[in-house]
Each structure stands twice: as structure tokens, then as C-alpha cells.
Amino acid sequence: MPLSLLSPHGRRGRLLIFTYHRVLARPDPLLPDEADAASFAAHMDWVREFCNVLPLPEAVRRLRDGTLPARATCITFDDGYANNYDIARPILLQRGLTATVFIAVDAVERGIMWNDLVIESVRQAGGQLEAPHWTAIGISGPAGTAASPAECVNRALDALKYRPLGERWEAAAELYRRVAQRDPPRLMMTPETVAAFGRDGFDIGAHTVNHPILAMQAADVARFEIQASRDWVAQVTGSAPLSFAYPNGRPGRDYDDSHARMVREAGYELAVSTAWGCANRRSDVFQLPRVAFWDRSRRPFWARLVHTYARSYLQRAA
């Protein structure tokens, strides 16, 4: 089997970590890159067919020890959306698969993330924002009404993503207030749901408190975000998390080596980024790469697996 040759067992093994955010009940034109229940179920069928799924902490230990099985794979979700529990969890359990869920603490406590306030604003506005709405988030000039709803969302998110934390949230909240005549929906899990997820045997990891771009924070703020999210998960689940995910996660832009050291010093065993690729024994376990596949049929999914594994042999450190 070509995949076993490219990702063998033992010391030459590769670890492929899939990343998801939401699993929607049905496709959403405002979220074209998010899996819906049907596509996620198909992905999990293909993953079960082609790969050996392990809990993330176990997989990373075995990666270091050189004892990975062939085609070792992990499944992860970022942020803590309620549909991870309501929709993804039953699909995983039906197939005997496990996953790691990384919790953004403030989002779980509020019930919604700042970026979802923006998305729901565009939804409430019928897919387009008017000029006063763009002004509310600091964009002047034409509103860009020719853009698709998804492009409208991306433009608004790009305008806010690298703002200071408080300013980012307030701008998103003000936009929602101007557009919607209702309270924001609760889209995230509750602390009780997070705890229940852990009791079901899933790995609960941390994803900071406020989902900041760590590279833009003072060192003491970044350290707080990393440590306080670990403390919250430990309190809610009864177990200190071993796994951490960097917000946005691009090495060198969203976080750097100093943040990887903070994660290690906080007591985590591993951390994941959004750098594309698969890990091998040379990889830094505090900067593990991940992949996100959007294939809608089995053969392209398999081909992308082959390509990702093959590319890892051309990189000095996967």
C-alpha cells in the first residue's frame, strides 16, 4: 500500500494531524470551507479506511519514541464549537474514532467568538454590509457590494484580525449591534459540555483565553493566555490539558519560538500550529504541523494524503 511505504511504522513514521473548526448541520454559503455533517462523515470513513487514528498525546509520545503505527493520524478541532459535540462527536463515536478539542476559553464563556459576531452580522444583513457598517469596523470608502457574502465576511475578518484584543471584540460587537435586532446566538459549547466531552474519552486541549495573535502581545500577556487557558481546562475537566493550539497558528507571524518555550514551561506536552505538513521524529513537538482537507470524494482525498506524505521527505523538518 503506497501510504504505508510513505508513512511506515516505527522510527521513520509520519504523523498527520487533521484540523477542523465547525461541523455544520448543512452547508453554509458564509462558511464555504467548513465541513458539514455529510462531508465530515465521509472524511471520517476515508480516514478510518486509510489511516490509524490515535489520541494526539499518545501519538506524539509514540512519534518521539519511534513506535508510531503506519499511517498514524490524529483529528483536532479548534475553538470549542457546540457542533463539535452535537454533530461531530456522534459521527466519531459511531466509527470508533477519537479527537482533540482545543478550547478558546472566553468564547466558551461568552457563547460566541468575535469572528462569529462578524459572520452573523453579514448573515443578518442579507449577505452584504452597507457603508456605515464598514465604518463601524474601521474600513472607509466603498462598501464593496459586488463581493460575494463569503468574500464580504473575509474582508471584514481581515480588517479586525490583527487589532488589539479589546478593540477587535468591541468593533465586532458594534457591527452586530448596528445590523441585528436580537441577541447573538450561542455557538460554542458550555463548560458543562466541555466536561462531558472529556468524560467521553476525548482529549481536551487549550487554545488560549481570548484567542489573541500571540506575537502581538507583550510577553506577560502571552504567558497569561497560555497558562490561564490550561488552568481553566484543568478546572472544568478535572485533568490538566497536555495539548495546546496556537491561535491562527502561522509560525513566525502569529507566534514564534518564545511562545513555544512558554507552552513547554506551562506544562503542556505538545502544541500544534497551522503550518501545512506532517510530522516526523525530527519535528518540534511544540510546533507540530497540521492539514485541512476539503475534498468531496474519496480518490482526491487519498491523492492528497499521498502528496502530503511524499512532500514530507523533501523537507528538512516536517
Domain locations in the chain as residue ranges: 2-110+187-312, 114-179
Contacts of 229 (CB under 8 A, 6+ apart): 103, 104, 105, 206, 207, 208, 209, 244
Q: Angle between the 114-124 and 149-160 helix axes, to the nearest 10 degrees?
A: 150
More confident residue, 231 or 154: 231
Q: Please give the grid coordinates belonging to residue 274.
A: 497551522
Residue 135 C-beta-side C-alpha neighbours within 13 Å: 6
| 317: pLDDT strictly greater than 80 | no
For residue 109, the one-letter residue type is: E
Predicted confidence at residue 149, as pLDDT, reads 87
- Average pLDDT value for residue range 61-66: 96
The overall average pLDDT reported for the chain is 93
CA distance 274 to 248: 7
87 — pLDDT class (breaks 50, 70, 90): very high
Contacts of 225 (CB under 8 A, 6+ apart): 208, 209, 210, 212, 214, 217
pTM (predicted TM-score):
0.93
* Cβ atoms of 262 and 223 closer than 8 Å: yes
More confident residue, 259 or 312: 259
Predicted confidence at residue 128, as pLDDT, reads 85
| 107: pLDDT strictly greater than 80 | yes
Q: Strand, coil or helix: what is 188?
A: strand
- Average pLDDT value for residue range 71-97: 98
In eight-state DSSP terms, residue 70 is: T
- Average pLDDT value for residue range 243-250: 97
| 152: pLDDT strictly greater than 80 | yes
Q: Please give the grid coordinates belonging to residue 20.
A: 477542523
- Specify the fold of 2-110+187-312: TIM Barrel (3.20.20)
Predicted confidence at residue 132, as pLDDT, reads 81
**Closest alpha carbon to 277 in 1, 16, 10, 3:** 16
| 138: pLDDT strictly greater than 50 | yes
248 — pLDDT class (breaks 50, 70, 90): very high
Predicted confidence at residue 140, as pLDDT, reads 66
